[in-house]
Structure 1
Amino acid sequence: MRNQMGFGAVVMAMISTALVASATQADDGAMLRDAASRFAAPFVTIKFVLKMEGQFGDRENETEATGVMIEPDGLVLASSSQLGTPRFMRQFGNARPTDLKVLIGDDTEGLPATVMARDTELDLAWVKLKEPSKKKLEYLDLGKSVKPQVGDSLVFLRRMGKYFDRAVTVGQLRVAGKTTKPRELIVPGGGASLEPGLPAFTAQGEVVGFVVLQLPDAEELESNFGAFAGLGRDIGSGLILPTADVVKATERAKRGEIKGDAEESAAGKSESKKKPASDDDEDDDKADASQAKSAPQPKRPANDDDDDEDE
């Protein structure tokens, strides 16, 4: 009798656990559907032609990236590495976006835009519409932000590519940890690969931060390559730059304190052209020096002292 009562208690506990799990899944599903309907409007597609110049020749590719409208006047936030050359790749050449157009909602033509500024260290880029939109623009209010704790649930949205009709997808992860180097960053868990340049939300709709690609530059990699051998596992899921830092960087970009795309392009070209002198260059320098020594020197004109000596 006692064994039967014990078995019955175990069965009831299992049923209760299953009901709780089912209710939790239902709540999560409702929350994700609500997030997709509430937050999708500010997500836009940036269509552009990527011009690449470097050691392996010049070429052009038409491509797309997802961005987020963050101000009603047509300011879009995106990932700098998605719109050009990541910092550590500068040694091989430079890539810059041209012919930019921002596709809003179901629009397939796009509105002309330009890269207002880029922060390659933070992996942020600001794209601005060239002309004000005739329609009211839905934008993401970065003032509604919060600092999450480890274990908190996060919601992510993104737009798929042209082949899939740029459909909006939604997912859920949890905060796995935090780091303070090279700067304050939130570490998501769950193993999913997050697209740089896109925001992370709480279930209540507060913006936690933006996914960024954080990598050392070429000089840091060359000076201590072994120290970064395990870097891939740490950045595989993406890292989140807190909203407060994104807001500060945006203000600096609007004040013109961050390089624009033209300046970034010039810097990239300069870095790609840097190379050590070759043997031929050294031979040419030696030949020039030899010719300079053997060249006849012009005669000095006589002065008054010379005339006095002749007399």
Structure 2
Amino acid sequence: MGANQEGLDSLNTIFQLQPTSYLTSADDVSNYLEPYIRNAFEQLAAADYPYNTSFYDVLPGWSVNISCEYLKADASNNKLRATNLFKAVQVYYGYTEQYCVKNCPESSWSPPNDFFWAKCTNSTDLLTPKKSKCNQTYVGYDLKMFRPDAIEILYGFDFSTTSNIIFTQGSIDPYASGGLTDEIPGIKNGYLKGIYNFHMKRAAHHLDLRQPNTCDPPQVVNARYQIVRIIQCWLTPSMQHCAKYPYEPDSLPKDYEYNGECQYILYGFPWNQTDTMSSTTSSTTSSQSNTMSSQSNGSSSFFISIFAVLVLYIAAFALNVFSS
């Protein structure tokens, strides 16, 4: 639509742009409108929480689903497609906001972006603009100071020599594409060194770090509980459930949707969660106690039997003595 004036006029009207922000060329569409739209979808994806929030902006619960509903509407021509797109991004920006594009480019995440920039084809393309920004930002900066391998040199790119780290990955977090898999060296069976990696369904960006809510997906709730228990073992190894630490994490529960009212939970630990390992330990302890009790009862019966035989033997001996 940005290829001709009629299309540009339509976009200016549909996106409710102020005259000072009117799109006047196809380059304006690429440089300003597209990042504005992309920013909305990126932020919606990151903050796709199950309840209303005001973290990035005022957003409804499961905002991505609401935004996508507009994209499913009739799109038989470009104007309808643009209108649907406008409605979809306004789930993030809000219908009452003063919209600006050309004069407010800072409202968008401009490329390059670590996870969303599709234009980079190799590391050189990604690093070049970053080097340029360093020159602009820091007085006296020398490109020789740029050390793209510093993290790898200082910390390494695997976890074979690390310990006591907890990672969480949300299945609908756009940053999950840069997250850790269980196959990375040091992550698989990492619990032996206190390294844990929880993969939670329907969890957006750092949902597990937010205030607990009744609408949190069950895997997020359980992961929080297990994380608290693990940290307790780091801080207070003498706690009862830490006797077998480091232990393998429990499998996260099956996912299901909560249809009740969403409310924040204050001071709610342990959030109706139970420790499978602890219950197993308790069962084992109970079983061991029963076994010991049975053994004890068996031993008592054995000694009673021996005592009875001795009594009978003495009685028989006495009868023989007196009868003779």
TM-score normalised over the length of structure 1: 0.22
TM-score normalised over the length of structure 2: 0.22
Larger RCO: Structure 1 or Structure 2 (Cα < 8 Å, ≥ 6 residues apart)?
Answer: 1
- The structure richer in strand per residue is 1
Higher Cα radius of gyration? 2
